[in-house]
Amino acid sequence: MAVEQLKSEVTGSVWKIVANIGDNIAPGDSIMIIESMKMEIPVICEDGGKLSALLVKEGDSVAEGQNLAEIEI
């Protein structure tokens, strides 16, 4: 199986994680929400698959381009 890395598009902090490891994620589903400059930005899974790893936890600061999660596609 191939593994897709989901990356942060912005610098901010992880406000809420809405998926759990092992969940089957449909294309377009949100994995987590990043708060940046008082805006909530969802981290979207483009292709869908199984969430195999969360690389951050709620409250963590993240940088633009940082790996946040892994999806088995």
pLDDT given at position 6:
95
Q: Torsion over CA of 47, 48, 50 and 52, rounded to 10 degrees?
A: 50
pLDDT given at position 1:
72
Residue whose structure tokens are 């993240």: 62
What is the tens place of the pLDDT at every residue in 31-72? 999 999 999 999 999 888 999 999 999 999 999 999 999 999
**3-60 — its CATH code?**
2.40.50.100
Spell out the domain ranges in the chain: 3-60
**Rounded distance between C-alpha atoms, residue 47 and residue 30, angstroms:** 12
73 has pLDDT over 90: no
Residue whose structure tokens are 């400059």: 37
Q: Which of 53, 68, 69 is nearest to 13 (CA)?
A: 68
